[in-house]
C-alpha cells in the first residue's frame, strides 16, 4: 500500500527520480524531515508536494470510500449488483455539481470551491429523498428503497442532462466533471474528505459483525438480538456520507465500488470482518494505480480515470471469477 | 432608412477603430511600451506582473497564435497539443490538451506567465494559482473583443506597438468588409440567409446567436439562420433546416471536406443553397480561434456570401 503510494508519487507527466520523490516526501514529515538534505529544485518540490501528493492521497481516499460503500450496500441489500450509486447518492451529487456549474456559483468554504460542496449536499439530499419516499409507516423495505433509488436516479439524471443542454457554455465543465477525475485534487479536498472516510471506515469495522448477522436474513438477525431497522439506517447513513464525500471531489468514477468488494470476497470469503477492511485497502490501492496509469500513459495528456478502472478491473475480476469457479468445480 | 442605418454602422466602426487605437481604458499614451504592473483579466482577476514575461505557457491555440503574431515566439515555452499554428508552435513543449492541461507539466516549465481562457479552464485556473503560477485569462466571444484581447496581451507582454499594428490591420480589413456590405444594402440587396454547419449526424449542429461564428456571419453581411436560438452551439433538426431553406450553406472544415459531399445526403439537393451550388467549406480554425487570423475567417465568410463582390 505504502509502496504503491510512493511509486504513484514518483510517476507523472514530468520525470522526477524515484529517490528524489521519496526524499522530498520524507522532508515534509515531522521529525524525519530534518534528516533529509534538500538536493532538489523548488520546481520538483512544487510538483511532488503540491500537485502529485495531494492527488495520489485523494485517489487513495476516494477509492477507499467507494469500495467501502460498495461493500456495505452489497451486504445490506444482499445484492451483488449494488454499488455506491444505488440509492441516488451519485446522481444527487451530479445534480449538485451541475447546479453549481450552471449558476456559476462562486461561494466557497475554507478553500473548497462551490462544486464539491454542492455535490456533497446533493448527494445527501438525494438519499434523504429516497428514504422519505420509500418510507411507509416508519418502515422502508429494502426492495422499495432500491426501486425508489433507481427511479429517483433516473429523474435526477434527466435534470442533469436538461441543464447541460440548456447551459451552452458550461456544458463542457459539467461533462468533464461527470466523467470523473482527480485532476483538480488539492490539499483542501484531501483534508475535507479524510474525516468522512476515517469515521465511515471505523464505524463499518465496528459494525462488520452485525452485517454478518443481517446476511442470515432480517428475521433471523432480529431473533439473534439485532435491532435490524435501526442498524440498516445507521449503515445507510454511514455509506451515504462516505459516498457523498468521495463523489463530491472526484465526480462519477465507476467500477471501483461495484467490483472491489467482489474481488476481495473471492480472496477473503464473505465474512464482513475481513471483507470490509479488505475492500477499504483494495479500493484505495486500485484507484491509486488506476489514476497513476491515467496520468502517465499518454502524458502530458490524461485519460479519464473511469476508463482505466473498467479496462483493467473487469478482465481481472473475470479472471478471478473463473479461477474460483474452477476450484469449486 | 436602410441607408441611414448603414452609415451609422460605418461611423460606429470608425469610432471603434479610433477607440481601439488609443488602447484600452485610455490609461497610456499611444505607442508607448508600458512597463508592466497590475492588470485585470477577462475574468475580473487582478494579475500582477513584475516585469515583462520571458517564459510563457499558452493553454489555448488562439493564445498561441496571438503570442507568435506579437513576435513572442521565442518566449513561448509550452503549448497545448492542439496548437498547430504557426508551424514553430509544433516544436514547443506540450502541456496536455486544451481541456485537461497537465498541471505538473506546466509547473515543470517554470513559466512567469500562463495565458489561459475562461470557460472550460475555469476550474483549473484556481489550481494553477494555488501552485503559485501567474495566470492571465482571456475570453473574447466576438470579433471586437478579440481585437481588445490582442491589445491586452500586447500590454501585459510589453509588445503594445506590435499589437496595435495587428489590430489596426484587422480593423481596416473589417471596415472594408462592412463598407462592401453597406454598398450591397444601399443597392437594395437583402442580406443572404446563411446556415452554418459545425457537425452532421442525423441532425445538424449549428451556431446560435451567442457564438463567435454568428458574430462573424453578421459582420460579413449575412443573416445567420441559427440565430433563432441564443446559445453557442445546438442541434438543429433537418426538417426545420429544409423549411428554413438557406440561400448559402457554410460548413466548418471539421464537418465536411468537399462542398460536393452534401449532395450525397438524401433529399438535401432540394435546398436552394445546394441546388445553386452555394455550399462553402471554411477552414474552421479561422473561425473558432479568437486570434489574429479571425479576420481571414471573416473575409472567407464574406467571400462565400458575396461571390460576385
pLDDT tens digit string along A86-102? 888 889 989 998 898 88
Q: DSSP labels for A100-158? A: HHHTT----BTTB-HHHHHHHHHHHHHHHHHHHHH-BTTB--HHHHHHHHHHHHHHHHH
Poorest-pLDDT segment among A179-183, A188-192, B7-11, B137-141: B7-11
Kindly state the average pLDDT of the residues B180-194: 92
Minimal Cα–Cα distance from A242 to chain B, Å? 24
* pLDDT at position A109: 66
Do B131 and A50 count as a contact with CB atoms less than 8 A apart?
Answer: yes
Most confident of A11-15, A98-102, B23-27: A98-102
pLDDT for the residue numbered B5: 41
Percent of chain B with pLDDT over 70: 88
Tell me the average pLDDT across A226-237.
85
pLDDT at B177 > cutoff 90: yes
Residue B2, pLDDT above cutoff 70 = no
d(CA B126, CA B136): 11
pLDDT at B22: 38
Model pLDDT for residues B256-305, shown as the tens digit of each residue:
878 888 888 888 888 999 999 999 999 999 999 999 999 999 999 999 99
Residue B24 pLDDT more than 70?
A: no
Peptide bond into B86 cis (omega under 30): yes
What are the cell numbers at B57? 505557457
For the four alpha carbons of A46, A50, A51 and A56, in that order, the dihedral sign comes to positive
Chain B residues in contact with A168 (beta carbon < 8 A): 208, 210, 231-234
Predicted pLDDT at B63? 96
- More confident: A286 or A27: A286
Q: What is the pLDDT of residue B260?
A: 80
| CB interface of B with A, residues 225-264, below 8 Å | 231-234
Query: Residue A176 and residue B120: Cβ atoms within 8 Å?
Result: yes
Task: Please give the average per-residue pLDDT across B176-205, as a whole number.
Answer: 92
Q: Do A13 and B96 touch (CB under 8 A)?
A: yes
Nearest CA in chain B to A175: B120
How many other C-beta atoms can be found within 10 angstroms of the C-beta atom of residue A267? 12
Asked if A26 and A33 touch (Cβ cutoff 8 Å), the reply is: yes
pLDDT for residue B15: 43
CA pair distance A234, A229, nearest whole angstrom: 9
Do A250 and A85 touch, CB atoms closer than 8 A? no
- Within 8 A of B210 by CB-CB distance, chain A residues are 168-169
What is residue B303's DSSP assignment?
Answer: H
**What single-letter DSSP state applies at residue A50?**
I
For A63, A309, B33, B238, B276, the CA distances from B245, given in Å and listed in that order, are 54, 48, 52, 10, 12
Which of A248, A300, A304 to mutate against chain B (most B CBs within 10 Å)? A300
Cell numbers at B85, concatenated: 499554428
DSSP per residue, B100-133: SB-HHHHHHT--SEEEEESGGGHHHHHHHHHTT-
Torsion angle of C-alpha atoms A77, A78, A81, A87, degrees rounded to 10: 0
What is the per-residue pLDDT across A156-209, written as a single tens digit (0 to 9) for each? 999 998 988 887 667 777 888 888 888 878 888 999 999 999 999 999 999 998
Q: Residue B14 above 50 pLDDT? A: no
The per-residue pLDDT for range B225-257, each reduced to its tens digit, is 999 988 788 889 888 999 999 999 999 998 887
Query: Does the distance separating the beta carbons of B107 and A47 come in below 8 Å?
Result: yes
- CA B93, CA B58: separation in Å to the nearest integer? 10
Q: How far apart are the first and last CA of chain B?
A: 23
Q: Phi and psi for A204 in degrees, rounded to 5?
A: -65, -40
The pLDDT confidence band at residue B30, using thresholds 50, 70 and 90, is very low
Task: Evaluate if pTM is beyond 0.85.
Answer: no
Distance CA A132, CA B112 (A): 54
pLDDT of residue A313: 81
Which residues of chain B lie closer than 8 angstroms to A50, CB-CB? 107, 130-131
Cβ <8 Å between B120 and A113: no
How far is Cα B307 from Cα A158, in angstroms, rounded to an integer? 46
Q: Is the pLDDT of residue B40 over 80?
A: yes
Binning pLDDT at 50, 70 and 90, where does residue B25 land? very low
pLDDT digit string, tens, across residues B153-168 = 999 999 999 999 999 9
B97 contacts A301? CB cut-off 8 A: yes
Say yes or no to pLDDT of A234 above 70.
yes
Across chain B, mean pLDDT equals 86
Average pLDDT over residues A24-36: 73
Residue B8 has pLDDT above 80, yes or no: no
Q: What percent of chain A has pLDDT over 90?
A: 28
Asked if B102 and A300 come within 8 Å (Cβ–Cβ), the reply is yes
Q: Is the pLDDT of residue A223 over 60?
A: yes
Amino acid at each position: 500500500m505504502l509502496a504503491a503510494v510512493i511509486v504513484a508519487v514518483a510517476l507523472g507527466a514530468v520525470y522526477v527520480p524515484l529517490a528524489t520523490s521519496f526524499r522530498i516526501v520524507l522532508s515534509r514529515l515531522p521529525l524525519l524531515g530534518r534528516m533529509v538534505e534538500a538536493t532538489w529544485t523548488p520546481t520538483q518540490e512544487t510538483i511532488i508536494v503540491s500537485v502529485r501528493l495531494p492527488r495520489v492521497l485523494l485517489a487513495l481516499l476516494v477509492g477507499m470510500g467507494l469500495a467501502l460503500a460498495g461493500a456495505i450496500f452489497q451486504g445490506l441489500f444482499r445484492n451483488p449488483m449494488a454499488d455506491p450509486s444505488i440509492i441516488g447518492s451519485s446522481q444527487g451529487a451530479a445534480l449538485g455539481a451541475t447546479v453549481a456549474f450552471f449558476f456559476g456559483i462562486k461561494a466557497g468554504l475554507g478553500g473548497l470551491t462551490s462544486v464539491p460542496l454542492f455535490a456533497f449536499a446533493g448527494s445527501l439530499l438525494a438519499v434523504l429523498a429516497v428514504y422519505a419516499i420509500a418510507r411507509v409507516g416508519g418502515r422502508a423495505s429494502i426492495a422499495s428503497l432500491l426501486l425508489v433509488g433507481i427511479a429517483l436516479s433516473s429523474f435526477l439524471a434527466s435534470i442533469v442532462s436538461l441543464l447541460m443542454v440548456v447551459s451552452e457554455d458550461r456544458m463542457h465543465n459539467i461533462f468533464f466533471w461527470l466523467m470523473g477525475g482527480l485532476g483538480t485534487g488539492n490539499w483542501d479536498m484531501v483534508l475535507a474528505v479524510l474525516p468522512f472516510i476515517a469515521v465511515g471506515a471505523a464505524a463499518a469495522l465496528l459494525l462488520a459483525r452485525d452485517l454478518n448477522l443481517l446476511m442470515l436474513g432480517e428475521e433471523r438477525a432480529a431473533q439473534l438480538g439485532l435491532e435490524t431497522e435501526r442498524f440498516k439506517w445507521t449503515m445507510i447513513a454511514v455509506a451515504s456520507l462516505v459516498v457523498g464525500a468521495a463523489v463530491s471531489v472526484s465526480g462519477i468514477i465507476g467500477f471501483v465500488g461495484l467490483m472491489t468488494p467482489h474481488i476481495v470476497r473471492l480472496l477473503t470469503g464473505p465474512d464482513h470482518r475481513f471483507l470490509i477492511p479488505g475492500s477499504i485497502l483494495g479500493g484505495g490501492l486500485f484507484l491509486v494505480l488506476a489514476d497513476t496509469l491515467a496520468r502517465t500513459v499518454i502524458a502530458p495528456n490524461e485519460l479519464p480515470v473511469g476508463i482505466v478502472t473498467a479496462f483493467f478491473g473487469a478482465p481481472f475480476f473475470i479472471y478471478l471469477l473463473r479461477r474460483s469457479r474452477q476450484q469449486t468445480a | 432608412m436602410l441607408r441611414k442605418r448603414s452609415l451609422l454602422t460605418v461611423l460606429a466602426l470608425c469610432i471603434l477603430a479610433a477607440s481601439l487605437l488609443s488602447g484600452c481604458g485610455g490609461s497610456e499614451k499611444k505607442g508607448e511600451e508600458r512597463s508592466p504592473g497590475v492588470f485585470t483579466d477577462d475574468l475580473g482577476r487582478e494579475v500582477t506582473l513584475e516585469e515583462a514575461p520571458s517564459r510563457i505557457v499558452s493553454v489555448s491555440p488562439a493564445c498561441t497564435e496571438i503570442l507568435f503574431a506579437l513576435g513572442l515566439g521565442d518566449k513561448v515555452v509550452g503549448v497545448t497539443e492542439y496548437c498547430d499554428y504557426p508551424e514553430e508552435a509544433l516544436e514547443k513543449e506540450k502541456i496536455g490538451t486544451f481541456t485537461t492541461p497537465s498541471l505538473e507539466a506546466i509547473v515543470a516549465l517554470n513559466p512567469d506567465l500562463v495565458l489561459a481562457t475562461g470557460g472550460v479552464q475555469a476550474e483549473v485556473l484556481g489550481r494553477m494559482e494555488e501552485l503559485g503560477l501567474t495566470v492571465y485569462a482571456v475570453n473574447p466571444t466576438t470579433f471586437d473583443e478579440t481585437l481588445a484581447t490582442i491589445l491586452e496581451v500586447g500590454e501585459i507582454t510589453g509588445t503594445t506597438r506590435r499589437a496595435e499594428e495587428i489590430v489596426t490591420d484587422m480593423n481596416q480589413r473589417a471596415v472594408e468588409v462592412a463598407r462592401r456590405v453597406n454598398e450591397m444594402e444601399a443597392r437594395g440587396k437583402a442580406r443572404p440567409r446563411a446556415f452554418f454547419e459545425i457537425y452532421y449526424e442525423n441532425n445538424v449542429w449549428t451556431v446560435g446567436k451567442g457564438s463567435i461564428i454568428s458574430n462573424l456571419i453578421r459582420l460579413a453581411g449575412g443573416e445567420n439562420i441559427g440565430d433563432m436560438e441564443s446559445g453557442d452551439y445546438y442541434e438543429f433538426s433537418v426538417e426545420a433546416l429544409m423549411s428554413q431553406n438557406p440561400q448559402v450553406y457554410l460548413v466548418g472544415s471539421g464537418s465536411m471536406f468537399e462542398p460536393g459531399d452534401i449532395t450525397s445526403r438524401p433529399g438535401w439537393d432540394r435546398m436552394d443553397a445546394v441546388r445553386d451550388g452555394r455550399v462553402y467549406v471554411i477552414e474552421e480554425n479561422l473561425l473558432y480561434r479568437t486570434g489574429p487570423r479571425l479576420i481571414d475567417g471573416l473575409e472567407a465568410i464574406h467571400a462565400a456570401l458575396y461571390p460576385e463582390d
